[in-house]
Amino acid sequence: MNAAKITGIVLIVLGLAGFFTGGFSFTKETTKAEIGPLQLKVEEKESVNVPQWLSIGAMALGGVLLVVGFRRKA
């Protein structure tokens, strides 16, 4: 397998994951105050939305790279 095929497959998988999940979330811990040995920590839940046009574009670009990878024989 050449680099174009591998990149195409990765883009298609990432595009499908972004399309069906719509995004991802993660928890971020920050220190708000520190008084001597005491610390006040806050956990914030952040979410990142993946636009559908970006997911569809990644799948389309992955498809193009797969076609180019199969046409180019080394």
CB within 8 Å of 74: residues ≥ 6 apart: 2
Q: Are 27 and 47 in contact (CB under 8 A)?
A: no
Task: Break the chain down into helix, strand, coil percent, rounded to 5.
Answer: 55, 35, 15
pLDDT at 3 > cutoff 90: no
Domain coordinates of the chain in residue numbers? 3-71
pLDDT in tens, 7-44: 999 999 999 999 999 888 999 988 888 888 888 889 99
Confidence category of residue 58, pLDDT binned at 50, 70, 90: very high
pLDDT at 74 > cutoff 60: no
